[in-house]
Amino acid sequence: MVITDYLERNARLYGSESALVEINPSEERDNAVTWRDFNLIENANPDAPYRREMSWKDFDRRANRFANLLLSRGLKKGTKVAILLMNCLEWLPIYFGILKAGCVAVPMNFRYSSDEIQYCLELADVEVLVFGPEFVSRMDAIAAKLDFLKMMFFVGRNCPEYTEDCMRLVSFCSSSAPPVALTEDDYAAIYFSSGTTGFPKAILHNHRALNCACMVEQNHHGQTRKDVFLCIPPLYHTGAKMHWFGSLLSGSKAVLLRGVKPEWILRAVTEEKCTIVWLLVPWAQDLLDAIDAGQIDLNHYYLDQWRLMHIGAQPVPPSLIRRWMEKFPHHQYDTNYGLSESIGPGCVHLGVENTHKVGAIGKPGHLWQAKIVDESGREVAQGDVGELIVQGPGVMLCYYKNPQATDEVLKGDWLWTGDMARMDDEGFIYLVDRKKDVVISGGENLYPVQIEDFLRGFEKIKDVAVIGLPHARLGEIAAAIIEIKEGETCTEEEINAFCVALPRYKRPRKIIFDRIPRNPTGKIEKPALREKYCQGRLVESQITG
């Protein structure tokens, strides 16, 4: 089977049941065109303008219509089609329509600037772009430079003159499945690296990798048709979509929530009876802070059916999970580790039965193998730090049009992750840090994640990032950029006093109070912090002891 077969099966077996719900508490999408505008969607509730719903039958029909639109324009197998949309009910049917046409889906980061959009479109050899109203100003700035595109489709009202009205066009297309044969070896998608280590690279996956993501997710979290998955992160990223693949495989409902306010999350869980919620660290932190501040009363929400909270996309502070389990003692908890190069989350997986191992990222996931090795590829001794490498059917084919970068991370069947890790005597893997983020101070390796986890234990700290600053004598020193909780005040002296519990060499040598920038998947944007605080800056020795 290929992944589109699961959608067709669900439409056949569960056609009238809910597949997707979009909730947008902040606006009513006045400028958006919906499937409902063409009478192509069932179960629309006119009394809830912020809520839209789509059945499995509608989902499959929408995907078929978009696939047939692409084929009617002469697109061939392997043609690259980019998606530049905010999370919405149209996103996944368009994605699956691209796959059903035999084309390659190229999801785009909604935070890209005009120049980054152009760069990624060219890098991936995109011929067709689908975009929404939120991106008109950015597209206006580069439209004249995109002459390599064969066509652009617009999902929204007030269609720009250089695009075509996607929703109007698909309404004239057949809703029957297109006659395109797919195999697991066919190219399926290009995802872009998050850019936390430089400009994005294009990551090519085949249909086998997408199937792997489905099976891994369902195996790890046991989704059944009774589950309801609340999806908040952006669908362009492998994390959100691959966790949703568990809903696809089980034929269960998913809810796309457009917003991250704590009260919106709890209201969606209550109203939609969500059983599984995937959160990023900042959102979980905000929710707990709101409870502690008395801004949220859990008694006002119905949460009994919520069985699993899982979290990932970045190192998870153990202190955060301990707080979560105090507030939600009946929840199962899980964390997943993965990269876009390994088709997203799950190549390493903690498991709901291993809450006693909070702090670890887990063991090799379903269908995956993992090792920790030195620079020559030899496994390090148990407990020693080395680079985490993984192997499985979800490993990327390559960095598209970048053989040098591909050769740096693909060695045989193994993907070298660039993450430093260690393994305990029970086989659980602990993430230490990104290889490129390690701070070497006076010959000592300092791992920022370890220092960050410690600092998050200070009650006044909302978020923290540790980076290396150049230093005349030590080469680098560890600097802690600290974001304080709203309403709190804090001094450098308080932070230094708290850090006395750390070994002396691990204590941050400079404290900076500032906001911590994170990308849409929750990862700290350390390159931005380094650019802000390191460019042309040599920190003189102010260190005692």
Domains and CATH numbers, the chain: 3-238 (3.40.50.12780), 439-534 (3.30.300.30)
Distance CA(281)–CA(125), nearest Å, equals: 34
**What digits encode the pLDDT tens for the residues 43-74?**
434 444 589 999 999 999 999 999 999 999 99
Average pLDDT, the chain: 88
**What digits encode the pLDDT tens for the residues 364-415?**
999 999 999 999 999 999 999 899 999 999 999 999 999 999 999 999 999 9
> What is the DSSP code (8-state) at residue 266?
H
Distance CA(305)–CA(428), nearest Å, equals: 30
**What digits encode the pLDDT tens for the residues 128-140?**
999 999 999 999 9
Coil, helix or strand for 337?
Answer: strand
The answer to whether 93 touches 59, Cβ cutoff 8 Å, is yes
Angle between helices 281-292 and 318-327 (to 10 degrees): 50
Residue 544: the pLDDT is 30
**What digits encode the pLDDT tens for the residues 436-477?**
777 877 656 777 878 888 898 898 999 999 988 887 666 678
The answer to whether 349 touches 220, Cβ cutoff 8 Å, is yes
DSSP string, 280-296: -HHHHHHHHHHHHTTS-
The answer to whether 155 touches 90, Cβ cutoff 8 Å, is yes
> What is the DSSP code (8-state) at residue 228?
E
Residue 316 has pLDDT above 80, yes or no: no
Q: Which residue has the tokens 């966790």?
A: 243
